[in-house]
């Protein structure tokens, strides 16, 4: 058991479970069947993410939910109601969630989310901060239903959804509190793959292991901010970031191994990031 796993043992009361499969770390929301993301979930995740970022043996991350019913129905509304009387508490709570999702998005390691059953509110906003989203073919209810609660998305949902699917689809989903299924989410560009329900977690692990064991970790950590941050910059600035990433990767043991493997007509073997 790794230090990260040791700090989040598989106990009945743990807000999430952490397991490691080679270079892939799996975080499973542990509040079945709804897998609500309460305050303790975000508190512990905020502490864990810097450790994952620093740990070079962690090369990819996968978010899923315990059981087969739902990824997550979002925030624990009972906890939110308890804080409604103090605007400072509410503001701090949402600031934390924005920090945590930004940390996921900017981890510079690929992060995957499985989407099945309810993926509502925060249960969609967390996957949207991930870099790959795989959804079940049947039974998904994906959406930002905050309008039905008389409010608006609070974890960056409107900004990320608009960037992912465009203004037209974002307005349609948010203003109508619309819930869509996996195939529709794929059609509008919200997810990467639709997978048979009984194969979803297996396929997500397969993708995670591909990214964790076959992809060059130094090159990944260089190119991810170019894509994620560069998409909000001018083309000139984005090209400058790309050039820096090229210079930072050429001549490294990783690039030497990749080029030798190509010349020798074999698959490259990339070691953990130095």
Do residue 104 and residue 127 come from a single domain? yes
Q: Kindly name the residue from 125, 184, 222, 254 that is annotated as catalytic.
A: 125
Contact assessment for residue 72 and residue 34, using Cβ atoms and an 8 Å cutoff: yes
Do residue 100 and residue 125 come from a single domain? yes
The CATH number of the domain holding residue 66 is: 3.90.226.10
Do residue 44 and residue 157 come from a single domain? yes
Contact assessment for residue 65 and residue 32, using Cβ atoms and an 8 Å cutoff: yes
The whole-angstrom separation of Cα 242 and Cα 70 is: 39
User: Is 244 a residue of the active site?
Assistant: no
Residue 273 covered by a domain? no
Do residue 152 and residue 114 come from a single domain? yes
Residue 259 covered by a domain? yes
Residue 43 has a pLDDT of 95
Q: Which residue segment(s) compose the domain that 79 sits in?
A: 3-213
Rounded CA Rg of the chain: 19
User: Is 146 a residue of the active site?
Assistant: yes
Do residue 201 and residue 88 come from a single domain? yes
Residue 119 covered by a domain? yes
Do residue 159 and residue 255 come from a single domain? no
The whole-angstrom separation of Cα 3 and Cα 18 is: 11
196 Cβ neighbours under 8 A, 6+ residues apart: 136, 137
Phi-psi region of 129 (alpha: psi -120 to 50; beta: other; left: phi over 0): alpha
Residue 17: its H or E element:
strand 16-21
Phi, psi of 27, rounded to the nearest 5 degrees: -110, 120
Average pLDDT for the chain: 91
The whole-angstrom separation of Cα 222 and Cα 262 is: 21
In the numeric block, which tokens belong to residue 173? 């989903």
Which of 37-46, 102-111, 141-150, 222-231 has the lowest average pLDDT?
Answer: 222-231
pLDDT tens-digit profile of 52-83? 999 999 999 999 999 999 999 999 888 777 76
Cβ count near 2 (within 10 Å): 14
Residue with the two structure tokens 């892939």: 24
Residue 1 has a pLDDT of 47
Residue 165 covered by a domain? yes
Do residue 177 and residue 231 come from a single domain? no
Residue 257 has a pLDDT of 86
Do residue 156 and residue 39 come from a single domain? yes
Residue 35 covered by a domain? yes
Residue 273 has a pLDDT of 60
| Beta bridge pairs of residue 120 | 143
Q: Kindly name the residue from 5, 44, 66, 146 that is annotated as catalytic.
A: 146
From 198, 213, 228, give the residue that closes a domain. Answer: 213
Residue 30 covered by a domain? yes
């Amino acid at each position: 058991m790794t230090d990260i796993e040791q700090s989040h043992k598989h106990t009945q009361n743990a807000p999430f479970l952490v397991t490691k499969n080679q270079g892939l770390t799996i975080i499973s929301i542990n509040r079945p069947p709804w897998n609500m993301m309460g305050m303790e979930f975000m508190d512990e995740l905020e502490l864990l993410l810097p450790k994952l970022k620093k740990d070079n043996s962690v090369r990819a991350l996968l978010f899923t939910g315990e059981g087969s019913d739902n990824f997550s129905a979002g925030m624990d509304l009972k906890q939110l109601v308890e804080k409604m009387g103090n605007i400072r508490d509410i503001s701090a709570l949402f600031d934390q969630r924005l920090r945590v999702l930004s940390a996921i998005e900017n981890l510079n390691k690929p992060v995957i989310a499985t989407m099945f059953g309810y993926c509502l509110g925060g249960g969609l906003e967390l996957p949207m901060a991930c870099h790959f989203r795989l959804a079940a073919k049947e039974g998904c209810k994906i959406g930002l239903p905050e309008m039905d609660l008389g409010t608006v998305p609070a974890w960056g949902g409107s900004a990320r959804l608009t960037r992912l699917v465009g203004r037209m689809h974002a307005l349609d989903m948010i203003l109508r509190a619309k819930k869509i299924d996996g195939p529709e989410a794929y059609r509008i560009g919200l997810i990467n793959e639709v997978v048979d329900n009984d194969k979803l977690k297996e396929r997500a692990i397969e993708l995670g292991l591909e990214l964790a064991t076959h992809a060059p970790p130094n090159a990944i950590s260089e190119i991810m901010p170019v894509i994620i941050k560069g998409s909000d910059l001018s083309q000139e600035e984005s090209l400058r970031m790309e050039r820096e990433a090229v210079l930072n990767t050429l001549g490294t043991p990783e690039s030497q191994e990749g080029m030798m493997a190509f010349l020798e007509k074999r698959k490259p073997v990339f070691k953990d990031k130095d």
